[in-house]
Structure 1
Amino acid sequence: MKRRFDLAVLGADSLVGAALLELLAERRFPAGEVSALGLDAEEGANVEFAGHALPVDSASAFDFGQVQLAFLADDDPRLAAEAERAADAGCVVVDAGGTAWRDPEIPRVVAGINDAALAGFNERGIVAAPDRVLVPLLRVLAPVHGECPLRSVHVTAMIPVSDAGRPAFQDLARETTALLNARHIDRSHFKQQIAFNVHGQIGAVDGGGATERERRIGDDLRNLLGAPELSVSVHLVQVPLFYGYALTVDLLSDRPVDLEAVTRVLAASPGLDCRGPGDAGDCPSPVADAMASSSVQVARLRQSAGTHSAALWITADNIRCAAASNAVACAEVLISDYL
């Protein structure tokens, strides 16, 4: 009989939590008892799993000694503290929420890219992902870097409101309706209008003009590609989309970029949907192509500033693909190879 694992989902009532529960059911994950946990869930609140309603229980009152696995689905510091309590109780925690862990013993893993790092799970009992933007980006750049070593990467990432959770999601929904009906609303997350608008900065900047998240993405990209000398420029832009990343990427290699060879490598890479040149209607978009998909869409691969350079376009679902699917895939490797 296939071994089953009792598990808990911390932040089950979040957007990532819902996607995790959906994927666990779809992929027939060997789950035994499943516990849905939250912080401030209303009495009687529940979430759906495999066609059944699960009550949302208090994370702070939960006994993690009764489960073997826990998924962290939200980057709320209070839930991260509960995740550490779970790890201390002997439960293996897989973080899908994008928590910025400071502990260097917690491995950051993008499934299919650096699975070997999962072997370090027992140092702290926690496996994390890098920033969610890096999940689709690394799935594209890792095979490209293997084909033509990269010297520099410039990324402009358009970030949907769901990346910041329900309050930001609700701000866009309510403000869109209000503006179309000439009404005013008080925002709970954004400081300025988000509906029909674009913000060129997400978060405070440091002395060099970069935000902490942009700097962290650059550092983790170098580390996970094993390219400490790589020059990385990251610009995060807040856009009025509910779901889906859209990234424009410019690459510079140490040698001439063979576009046909790069296309073949990308087309053969699991989890990538690589499209050749076509008209505007064929270019994948976050809403029409990436939303609710676990695949990364790649298009518009072309030469840019010269023979050593290339540019491309990437879209991916920030909740399902970049967060939930990566976490479930990491957990599948853990139970197959280490637990």
Structure 2
Amino acid sequence: MGFKVAVVGATGNVGREMLDILAERRFPVSEVVALASSRSIGTEVSFGDKTLKCRHLDTYDFSDTDICLMSAGGDVSREWSPRIGAQSCVVIDNSSAWRMDPDVPLVVPEVNADAAAGFTKKHIIANPNCSTAQLVVTLKPLHDAAKIKRVVVSTYQSVSGAGKEGMDELFAQTRSIFVSDPLESKKFPKRIAFNLIPQIDVFMEDGFTKEEWKMVAETKKILDPKIKLVATCVRVPVFIGHSEAVNIEFENPLSPDEARNILREAPGVLVIDKHEPGGYITPHEAAGEDATYVSRIRDDPTVENGLVLWCVSDNLRKGAALNAVQIAEVLMNRKLIAPKQKAA
């Protein structure tokens, strides 16, 4: 018995990744429908060894669809997710539109899978921000072991976090530099090629950016509202893969060796931590992988009970598409939903 699944935003980076991961993980589908805006009607996308033609979101009937993977941006989600949910189709949304809604679960399956059961209020489940997802996967087992008090995180986020336009801009600017053409900055506020930009999303009144606020608010909602967290989010000239340098202060002692052993047993985490040149993971190596990689675990001598670590993950996968499919798997495995169309 399979589920009918619709992917909204199927032509985008994350939408295509969702289709790939549904096929890779052999999610039991009776049918997969690719949906997009009017300009993409008829565009072909791949699902395993099949080719799907995109249909128009505006004219699609969700009444016989079980799950909608939504990756079309906040404005589209705010308009459409309640309509889709009203037809008893569970929306798993990748935008920021519903993350802080108290009636919408914000779920990372390795961290708070139980929260998924709360979808019944609006038939919407939110995916966290890509930078938050890999962080909480890393923090959860350590928090369980020694109780985290405070986190200071600096992110190094790839241009794919800004969508296809961000990737295209990095490529075009890099080429322009090599052939001595003038550079254009459209997607980013400053040149991204061979540069870093200490701004992701818009600035807020307190001087933090919205991306930094998201990491704080989402970590509290997913993991523990008592954790104090401050973030500095930086865009870097990397195509795929977000990296984070994380300083953690615990209530109880936790040695680097103990942390390594805990993380080696943690779901969704792989520890690669050799104290030698190259004995760590970079975003290039994490691209295309499902795991959140943790390296460079060491004592933080500036605080009592402190550790420092480096974590890297493919932001299009664990930070977006993979997490959404894993949420769908939670709904299925825990029998929180059943296919509307029964097998003949």
**TM-score bucket (shorter structure):** over 0.9
Q: In the alignment, residue 70 of structure 1 is paired with which amino acid?
A: C
Counterpart in the other structure of 1:213 = 211
**Matched letter for residue 278 of structure 2:** G
Instruction: Please state how far the C-alpha of 1:207 moved relative to its aligned partner.
Output: 2.8
Match of 1:223 in 2: 221
2:340 match: none
What is the SS of the residue equivalent to 1:106? coil
Q: State TM-score, norm by structure 1.
A: 0.94
State which of 275, 287, 291 in structure 2 corresponds to 1:291.
Answer: 287
Counterpart-to-counterpart distance in 2, 1:103 and 1:138: 19
* Paired position in structure 2 for 1:34: 32
For 2:133, the aligned partner's letter is V
Q: Report the Cα offset of residue 145 of structure 1.
A: 0.7
Counterpart residue type for residue 153 of structure 1: V
Alignment of 1:51 with 2:46, yes or no, is no
Q: How many residues align?
A: 335
Larger mean CA deviation between 294-303 and 255-264 belongs to: 255-264
Unaligned runs of 5+ in 1: none
- Tell me which residue corresponds to 1:194: 192
Alignment of 1:248-259 (within 5 A): 248-259=245-256
Q: For 1:84 and 1:329, locate their aligned partners in 2 and report how far apart those are by CA, in whole Å.
A: 22
**Per the alignment, in what secondary structure is the counterpart of residue 65 of structure 1?**
coil
The letter for the 2-side match of 1:132 is: C
Q: Is the 8 A contact 1:95 1:129 kept in 2?
A: yes
Equivalent residue number for residue 105 of structure 1 = 103
- The equivalent residue for 1:141 is 139
- % identical aligned pairs: 29
Contact 1:10 1:79 in 2 (8 A): no
| CA–CA distance in structure 2, aligned partners of residues 281 and 328 of structure 1 | 32
**1:321 corresponds to 2:318:** yes
Instruction: Say if 1:43 and 1:215 are closer, same or farther in 2 by CA, change over 3 A.
Output: closer
Matches within 5 A, 1:4-83: 4-83=2-81
SS at match of 1:163: helix
Which secondary structure does the structure 1 equivalent of 2:55 belong to? strand
Offset, 1:80: 4.2
Query: 1:312 aligned to 2:318?
Result: no
Relative to the length of structure 2, the TM-score reads: 0.93
**C-alpha deviation, 1:178, in angstroms:** 1.2
Give, in whole Å, the separation in 2 of the partners of 1:108 and 1:43: 31
Alignment correspondent of 1:87: 85
Distance in 1 separating the partners of 2:55 and 2:171: 28
Q: Which structure 2 segments of 5+ residues have no match?
A: 338-344
Contact (CA 8 Å) 2:199, 2:233: kept in 1 or not?
yes
Deviations 1:106-150 (A, max 9, x none): 100001211110111111001112212111111110100111111
Provide the secondary structure at the position in 1 that maps to 2:73: coil
Quote the offset at 1:82 in angstroms: 2.2
Aligned CA-pair RMSD: 1.6
Q: Is the 8 A contact 2:220 2:226 kept in 1?
A: yes
